[in-house]
Structure 1
Amino acid sequence: MPAVIHTSYDIENPPPRLDPSWTRFVCISDTHSTITAVPPGDVLLHGGDLSSWGTYKQLRKTLDWLMTLPHELKVIIAGNHDHCLDLELKSQSWFGGLDPEDVDQALSFVRSDDVKASGLVYLDHESTAITSSNGVQWTVYGSPAAPVYVEGAFQYFDRKEAKEEWARIPDNVEILMTHTPPHGILDLSKRGKQAGCRELMSKLQSLENCRLHVFGHIHEGFGAEIREMKKGENKWETVFVNAAVAMGNLPIIIDMKKD
């Protein structure tokens, strides 16, 4: 499946698609309640950390902004900062500062009719089929999960939990959205550590239909690359995108065409 990556461009005059048969994905992540310039495209993909510290007020600011963007389809997931979207945290008294009402409001609004009417789709360990404006259908799976790192939402604590988490990804997924990077791909932290998930990387080596994987979480790992994947004698290419814009980076544009 052909793909073209744009990481450096004029935000006021982004490069055109080769022709209308290509689908333009605009990838962002880790906006942390900040409104940023986003180029137009067919599908917007947000890799989580919609808010700074997980309050409903912060989440609502981001959702209100995303709803105004011109992309016909906008698919989003949460991240470890988005506490108010993690139902499990509502009943955990150890998690200081989280108002249980924030959880109720957030989970209600993110799946509300108004949000859906704007073309925004929220994925929480689930998949959906989307059809871009050129009539091409894509299967998308989204998960907010990430390895444990201090206090945060949607975190798993050991290898067993990680395996269980990524076993949920269906084999037919074409576009994968996770908050964490896979181990060894665009995951180098400021301390020089490869902070991505090994079990996610292992799972990716069996996802023969996956053509685009969008994530964030490790801000310093921003970038995109195409890697050849292999399972037995089968080979395929996957575009990997760390779309974290928190350090002032541009949204990453990925143009893709189905074979």
Structure 2
Amino acid sequence: MMQLLTEHLSSRRTARHTLNTADIPSKLTASRATVYLQYDEVPPHPGDCWTRFVCISDTHSHKYVVPPGDVLLHSGDLCSYGALDTLTPTMEWLMTLSHPMKIIIAGNHDLCLDEKFRKGGGYDSSFDTLPAEDIDSARALVRSEAVRAAGIHYLEHESFQFTTQSGRRWKVFGSPSAPRYAIGSFQYDRRAQAEEIYNQIPADTEILLTHTPPYMVLDRTKRGKHAGCEYLEDRLAQLSSCRLHVFGHIHEAYGAAISEEPAEKGEVDIQRVSVNAALAWGGQPVIVDIMN
């Protein structure tokens, strides 16, 4: 039943890949943000005036050593090949992590979380789909009482607000979608579909989780193509409150960038951290410290 789907998703992972870490800076700094990409020891927390976000993505049912922080952000591809039995170990692992707040989304590998893959749901008649009970179980799992008790919040085209232990309240939006590539979950084909998805992002969103990168931001494939979403790039230009955007999907484009634009007179300059946190090729969890 899952064979055709898993063959398509696994075809990109038959060869082992590793990042060229020589091209990745160990640290990025700005006036109100610090990013750590390569580290032997976890840098000290900068204090109560800052929030430490630990960013990961594309873990594909593998477990990683994750440094502590105030907030864990996971930008999708929780599963290896989309079956329920590859989601469960990931959720069990995430529940063991010490972060008081953990916010997660799905990605294109997380078939069991996408209603379109429900058997009889009319996805694509040329491909098998998943049993309805697997879809129900997966979607119940990520929103279960046990998962919530562990501080995990699953977002699917929705907003969420939380307050850190230091008292800072953050506004988050999460979306699992990405442009169509082969057979995968939560994908869209047309710009109109992307507009419908990303226009849901509230204007005052401060932390954004998407599975796809925006176009031209940490989205270059090993073949040199920019694979990010063009409409997401346009939408981000309208989100002046967004301080941190975390994504993954393009494994080889792991990294981070800090952009800063001058604000109107009398206002604070717009400073945004963008993180491709895909761990599949060997990157470390990205630590992002943001001034409250």
Q: Which residue identity is paired with 2:112?
A: C
Return the alpha-carbon distance in structure 1 between the equivalents of residues 264 and 182 of structure 2.
Answer: 38
Q: CA RMSD in A?
A: 1.6
Structure 1's consecutive aligned runs of 4 or more residues displaced over 6 angstroms after TM superposition are 230-234
Higher mean displacement: 234-243 or 71-80: 234-243
What's 2:284 paired with? 250
> 1:154 maps to which residue?
186
**TM-score, length-scaled by structure 1:** 0.95
Quote the residue 1:238 is aligned against: 272
For residues 208-227 of structure 1, the aligned pairs below 5 Å read 208-227=240-259
List aligned pairs for 1:14-33, cutoff 5 A. 14-33=42-61
Check the 8 A contact 1:205/1:230 in 2, yes or no: no
Q: Which runs of 5+ in 1 are unaligned?
A: none
Of 87, 107, 111 in structure 2, the residue corresponding to residue 83 of structure 1 is: 111
8 Å CA contact retained: 1:205, 1:231: no
Cα-to-partner distance string for 1:3-54 (whole Å, 9 max, x where unaligned): 11000111xx300122222111000000000001100011000000000111
Residue 98 of structure 1 deviates from its aligned partner by 2.3
What secondary structure is seen at the aligned counterpart in 2 of 1:80?
coil
Q: Distance in 1 between matches of 2:271 and 2:232?
A: 17
5 Å-filtered alignment, 1:13-162, equals 13-90=41-118, 91-92=121-122, 94=125, 95-96=127-128, 98-162=130-194
Count of residue correspondences: 256
Question: Is the aligned partner of 1:203 residue 2:239?
Answer: no
Could you list the per-position Cα deviations for residues 153-173 of structure 1 after superposition, in whole angstroms to 9, with x for gaps in the alignment?
Answer: 000111111111111110010
* Runs of 5+ unmatched residues, structure 2: 1-30
Alpha-carbon distance in structure 2 between the residues aligned to 1:19 and 1:25: 13
Which residue is equivalent to 1:193?
Answer: 225
Supply the AA of the counterpart residue of 1:123: L
Amino acid at match of 2:111: H
The two structures have a TM-score, normalised by structure 2, of: 0.84
* 1:174 is aligned to 2:206: yes
When Rg is computed on C-alpha atoms for both structures, the one with the higher figure is 2
| Alpha-carbon distance in 1 for matches of 2:197, 2:261 | 21
Equivalent position of 2:12 in the other structure: none
State the distance in 1 between where 2:72 and 2:171 align: 14
Offset at 1:231? 8.4
Percent identity over the alignment is 51
